[in-house]
Structure 1
């Protein structure tokens, strides 16, 4: 992958209205994230971590400011443009896995390809490759209830990477896992970053953050870079 900025945030502010009162979640955030960065975002509950991740993922829009993903401004892009960027550029992994219980692992991974308009043979090949990449080549026909927590998170990661995104956004991806499984999932995620994927992780776990290349603290809507 080429080098350069993946994200450039300038003056990003997000304000919610609760019971008629303005509540700032982010206040004038400036941030640059480079291709291949591994970024851990920490901070207190209510400090703005999830809000920032939602803005980076195009799941919400800022009240003010600019969020450039490459050359596209997520703050001003049309819903169709944002949808295209999310389909092609961004992968998401969550604490709760968010797998569909009635589908097999392979079918869950395949849902990540629905917006791309690929042929069925190509979809099948990509699903098989993604499952192999996360060490589950022999679990494609298993449903979530037949998999351990760690295996379910691997399926969720396979679903995120099957479309070959440039950025993986992870919200507490190891929060429901024991220490051993956490370390396995981290090794998998960081291995993806070694291949050129930009990885942005919201985490409360200092052991996770300590392994990231960059650590950001988000408190009272303000980002501070930790060294």
Structure 2
């Protein structure tokens, strides 16, 4: 019996995606026909000049915004025409977000911050507690659940943010400069963690200015003049 190897399934398909804005009486083009395919389980980085549309692209991939034109599909869902309810479901269930600034609520403990991601899913309390503890253990913070963000280092705060992103068991993790506020040692620790999550099957898409981060990816995309090219 022969075994036929197949390519990983495409998770995102972008075809001639455009995004324009009207500001101060003029039209600004953030994306001008971006085309790419990102497969399930890949670690992909996106680089490009400041103001070149990287954050706009991440918002589109995260179902936080809609394209002005073209096609953008996540799995079998066309994001440009999906209902607001469906986009909300995708954000709640299938997409995790990590940001440079951690975005933790300072008055909540690490455990409570992670649990916030499960509120829209209406998960029973017992299962919610188990998933939160599992996620904190996954990022190496099983003993820090009762600490406030101010009692944690920058690297530990980012680990809490990652635990919050993965507690809902998403298909994709979108990260905007996730190591931008960290020193080299902490950056490398976070990269190892992200790589381990990707090895477990999570699709990882990272916007970064750091070439040391980009070199670790399976694929590197560059966004310039509103268009995507592969490095």
Normalised to the residue count of structure 1, the TM-score between the two structures is 0.98
Aligned residue number for residue 130 of structure 1: 135
Please name the residue that 2:218 is paired with.
Answer: 213
Deviations 1:11-32 (A, max 9, x none): 1000011211111100011110
Separation in 1, partners of 2:173, 2:23: 31
Deviation at 1:117, TM superposition (A): 1.3
Unaligned runs of 5+ in 2: 1-6
Counting only pairs closer than 5 Å after superposition, residues 133-148 of structure 1 correspond to structure 2 as 133-148=138-153
Q: Which runs of 5+ in 1 are unaligned?
A: none
Q: Deviation above 3 Å: which 4+ runs of structure 1?
A: none
Residue by residue over 1:129-164, the C-alpha shift from the partner in whole angstroms, topping out at 9 and shown as x without a partner, is: 000000000000000000000000000000000000
Classify the secondary structure of the residue corresponding to 1:191.
helix
- The superposition leaves residues 204-224 of structure 1 with CA deviations (integer Å, 9 ceiling, x where unpaired) of 000000010100111111111
Q: Give the whole-Å Cα distance in 2 for the aligned partners of 1:198 and 1:136.
A: 22
Displacement of 1:93 in angstroms is 0.1
How big is the shift at 1:113? Answer: 0.6
Task: Kindly indicate whether residue 69 of structure 2 is the aligned counterpart of residue 96 of structure 1.
Answer: no
Distance across 1 between alignment mates of 2:171 and 2:141 = 22
**Superposition TM-score, scaled by structure 2 size:** 0.96
Report the counterpart of residue 15 of structure 1 in structure 2: 20
Within a 5 Å distance, the mapping from 1:1-227 to structure 2 comes to 3-226=8-231
Q: What are the superposed Cα offsets for residues 96-118 of structure 1, whole Å, 9 maximum, x if unpaired? A: 00000000000000001111111
CA RMSD of aligned residues (A): 0.9
Q: How far off is 1:3 after superposition?
A: 3.5
- In the alignment of these two chains, the number of paired residues is 225
| 1:47-98 deviation line (CA, Å, top 9, x unaligned) | 1111100000011111111110000011111110000011111000000000
